[in-house]
Amino acid sequence: MSGLLEQLFQVGFLAALIRIATPLMLATLGEMLSERAGVLNLGIEGIMLIGAMAGFCVAYFSGSLWLGVGAAVLAGMVLAALHALLTVSFGLSQHVSGIGVTLLSTGLAFFIYRLVFGQPSQPPSVPPFQTVPIPGLSAIPVIGTAVFNQYILVYVAMLLVPVMAFILTHTPWGLSVRMVGENPHAAESAGVSVAVKRWQAVVIGGGLMGAAGAFLSLAQFNAFTFGVINGRGWVAIALVVFGQWRPWRCAGGALMFAFIDALQLRLQASNLGQHVPYETFLILPFLLTIVAMASVSRNAIAPAALLKPFRKEER
Amino acid sequence: MGFRLEPRISTPAWLNVALSLAAVLAALVLCAGLIALAGANVIGAYAIMFESAFGDVYALTETLVKATPLVLTGLAVAVAFRAKFWNIGAEGQLLAGAVVGCWVGGFPHVPGPIAIALMLIAGAAGGALAALVPALLRVRLKVDDVVSSLLINSIVYYAMMALIEGPWKDRMSGYPNSPPIQDAANFPILMEGTRLHLGVVFAALAVPLVWLLMRRTTLGFAINAVGENAEASAYGGIRVDRVLLTAAAISGGLAGLAGICEVGGIHFQVMGEISTGYGYTGIVIAMLARLNPLGVIPAAVFFAAVMTGAEAMSRATGVPVFLAQVIQGTALITMLVALLFTAYRIRRTGGPAGVRAT
């Protein structure tokens, strides 16, 4: 056990923690943006999967990882647009539409992957993203190697937290997004188009979810597998609640989840893992996510118009 | 635009049926594009699916066998959604029921009928307990039921896998399976030479029972009332929390029965592949049935046919078997769009008549 504690503070553990947190940060921020505008997106799990698939396929055939990331973002935006059409334009149930988008995206991702690659005995792979040290900062002992010698997408995700916080609180666009999520009637009387702002937030959020999927298939692993998302989308939705719909707290939640996940991976590899089936440890992150959500839910204040469709003529 | 949506006062019954059929048809038409993309003949592929699902007596029994857990998960979701308890956890509840029921089915020296009855009770209890967790979290701690029931699906799955990889692993086979249930606990086969088992009867009986519960009992009335308007129900003297918990328990119990039917009638043990997403398909089925228990049967048979048909079609044409999943997702979305027509009717508005006849 003391060996385990020592491991926790090693560079490798910290670096793994950051890597595990990255797709969660991207996805959680995407979901948060959508929900701040008043639209719950339960399509996230499927959108991440289709991002992982599209990113991998395009990277595999073009040879360009960044083209893959672009394709993943685009795929995420297209499916999020479907969700926006159903929930924002048609005012249909956000719950059911989201589940529909997840089922459809999951089926499509598997279908297209099987169509493209068939059933090879060895799953195809791509040379994954390499880490890029930031000059200067990466020389700091421990933290430098763990945090500043990472994939570029990791830096993007880390930068996105303050950027998102700034946009939501200090830009006209961010203010109007929050307005349509809190009080759409007031927004409409102030000349803000509720439908347009919600569409934008949902679609941009979908792009982030797609990018999160691409990180998994192009950086964290270098292949697409059917279980690549493995509930991370649902976890992201829980983290938005835990993060109280605020970027910094959501990022903190993602780091906390990543800590638990990295820990259970270490436990799998430890002495204990020799005697206990590894699935036992896989329960931990999900269980603790529920506990985390339960600890804040009683006092959580969701965007007031979340789940409520908006029609101009109805009051 | 020349057209306007106008709220409907009520939806005629024929329209509900027509819209469900239209939604299914639209889904099949949309998915035809994927079949063509895979280089197969669309009509031919659908013909193979139909043939292999309904073509002869054996195919028909296989479709009914597949429909059995789907009827039960469809009912589970329908009951929960009526109360606006967003139970996305039928998958986990099915697994929980399978595990508990299979354990009970392994008790030695129990006569057949009693063993089967005990398995059903235990399976329903296991599923109900798994559903009560998200319901209690919602009632007591205001935890969102969608997210918690989804996360619990993963927890139940990994817990089950840990059990059958660890302490509950069958020492005889060495595979990650539980030990088999007693032979006496195996569900009787209803037709020689097929897999049609007693579970079909349980599923068929559950439909009218749930219908009676929802339409003819005080509890059913309360569940509907809470779903329609929780605040008004509370004002009217209904104990909303208690109704929600009861609906959750019934929903989870039905999903647990689905698990027990798979154990008792098909697998005779618990294994990793005990469910191929029956819990999630249950959501699609409940929506297509417009949350009406009677509508669950045709919807479940349809998706059972899609599942069995897709496998045969995939073997024959090379179109990936995942077409079945795409059809499910598409049907849920087309059904959702169809709901627009039940809530609203399209009316031509004034303006130059016939000018914008689009």
Q: At residue B109, does pLDDT exceed 50?
A: yes
What is the per-residue pLDDT for B358? Answer: 39
Helix (H) or strand (E) run with residue B236 in it: none
Nearest-angstrom CA–CA distance, B343 and B340: 5
Nearest-angstrom CA–CA distance, B50 and B178: 35
Nearest-angstrom CA–CA distance, B324 and B307: 6
How far away is chain A from the Cα of B6, in angstroms, using its nearest Cα?
11
Of A101, A230, A279, the CB nearest to B165: A279
Cα–Cα nearest to B176, from B259, B270, B265, B268: B270
What is the per-residue pLDDT for A57? Answer: 97
| pLDDT range class, residue B353, cuts 50, 70, 90 | very low
What is the per-residue pLDDT for A18? Answer: 93
- A111-125, A137-151, B142-156, range with the lowest pLDDT: A137-151
What is the per-residue pLDDT for A145? Answer: 79
What is the per-residue pLDDT for B356? Answer: 43
* Residue to test with chain A: of B154, B164, B315, most A Cβ within 10 A: B154
DSSP per residue, B297-333: HHHHHHHHHHHHHHHHHHHHH---TTHHHHHHHHHHH
Q: By percentage, how much of chain A surpasses pLDDT 70?
A: 96
List CB contacts (< 8 A) between A282 and chain B.
Answer: 154, 158
Q: At residue B357, does pLDDT exceed 70?
A: no
How many Å separate Cα B337 from the centre of its chain?
20
CA distances to A28, A48, A94, A104, A109 from A45, in Å: 11, 5, 15, 11, 12
* Number of residues in chain A: 315
How many Å separate Cα A58 from the centre of its chain?
20
List CB contacts (< 8 A) between A278 and chain B.
Answer: 165
| pLDDT range class, residue A274, cuts 50, 70, 90 | confident
* Residue to test with chain A: of B333, B334, B344, B346, most A Cβ within 10 A: B333
What is the per-residue pLDDT for A276? Answer: 87
Q: What rounded mean pLDDT belongs to chain A? A: 92
List CB contacts (< 8 A) between B306 and chain A.
Answer: none
The answer to whether the Cβ–Cβ distance between A234 and B141 falls below 8 Å is no
The answer to whether the Cβ–Cβ distance between A293 and B283 falls below 8 Å is no
CA distances to A94, A108, A138, A234, B284 from B330, in Å: 16, 10, 48, 21, 10
The answer to whether the Cβ–Cβ distance between A105 and B143 falls below 8 Å is no
What is the per-residue pLDDT for A160? Answer: 96
The answer to whether the Cβ–Cβ distance between B151 and A289 falls below 8 Å is yes
The answer to whether the Cβ–Cβ distance between B333 and A101 falls below 8 Å is yes
Which of the pair, A136 or B353, is modelled with greater confidence?
A136
What is the per-residue pLDDT for A136? Answer: 82
Tell me the residues of B at the A interface, defined by beta carbons under 8 Å apart. Answer: 34, 37-38, 86, 88, 137, 141-144, 146-148, 150-152, 154-155, 158-159, 161-162, 165-166, 280, 283-284, 287, 320-330, 332-333, 336-337, 339-340
Q: What is the dihedral of CA B41, B43, B47, B50, to 10 degrees?
A: 120
DSSP per residue, A218-234: IIISSS--TTSSTTHHH
What is the per-residue pLDDT for A313? Answer: 61
| pLDDT range class, residue A156, cuts 50, 70, 90 | very high
Topology given in CATH for the domain delimited by B3-348:
ABC transporter involved in vitamin B12 uptake, BtuC (1.10.3470)
- Helix, strand or coil for residue B144? coil
Q: Which two tokens stand for residue A57?
A: 């396929």
- A55-64, B169-178, B230-239, range with the lowest pLDDT: B169-178
Q: Which two tokens stand for residue A15?
A: 């670096």
How far away is chain A from the Cα of B34, in angstroms, using its nearest Cα?
9
| pLDDT range class, residue A121, cuts 50, 70, 90 | confident
For residues B268-297, give the mean pLDDT.
94
Q: Which two tokens stand for residue B14?
A: 């024929």
Q: At residue A176, does pLDDT exceed 70?
A: yes
The answer to whether the Cβ–Cβ distance between A107 and B161 falls below 8 Å is no
Summarize pLDDT for B277-291 with one digit per residue, the tens: 999 999 999 999 999
Structural domains of chain A sorted by starting position, each given as residue range(s) with its CATH number in brackets: 2-121+135-297 (1.10.3470)
Of B151, B161, B337, the CB nearest to A90: B337
Q: Which residue of A has its CA nearest to B333?
A: A100
User: Which residue in the block uniquely carries the two structure tokens 């504690």?
Assistant: A5
Question: Is-contact A94 A87, C-beta < 8 A?
Answer: yes
Question: Is-contact B323 B314, C-beta < 8 A?
Answer: yes
How far away is chain B from the Cα of A159, in angstroms, using its nearest Cα?
27
The answer to whether the Cβ–Cβ distance between B325 and A111 falls below 8 Å is yes
Of A100, A279, A280, the CB nearest to B329: A100
Of A111, A237, A238, the CB nearest to B326: A111
DSSP state of B268: S
For residues A50-57, give the mean pLDDT.
97
How far away is chain B from the Cα of A143, in angstroms, using its nearest Cα?
32
What is the per-residue pLDDT for A3? Answer: 60
Q: At residue B308, does pLDDT exceed 50?
A: yes
| Residues sharing a CB contact under 8 Å with residue A81, sequence separation 6 or more, in sequence order | A199, A202, A203, A206
Q: How far apart are the first and last CA of chain A?
A: 61
Summarize pLDDT for B14-35 with one digit per residue, the tens: 888 899 999 999 999 999 999 9
Q: At residue B340, does pLDDT exceed 90?
A: no
| pLDDT range class, residue B13, cuts 50, 70, 90 | confident
What is the per-residue pLDDT for A315? Answer: 46
For residues B122-129, give the mean pLDDT.
98
Q: At residue B325, does pLDDT exceed 60?
A: yes
Say yes or no: ipTM exceeds 0.85. yes
Q: At residue A7, does pLDDT exceed 70?
A: no
* Residue to test with chain A: of B140, B325, B334, most A Cβ within 10 A: B325
The answer to whether the Cβ–Cβ distance between B330 and A104 falls below 8 Å is yes
Summarize pLDDT for B127-155 with one digit per residue, the tens: 999 999 999 999 999 999 999 999 999 99
Q: By percentage, how much of chain A surpasses pLDDT 90?
A: 72
| Residues sharing a CB contact under 8 Å with residue A53, sequence separation 6 or more, in sequence order | A75, A109, A112, A113, A213, A217, A224
| In chain B, domain spans | 3-348
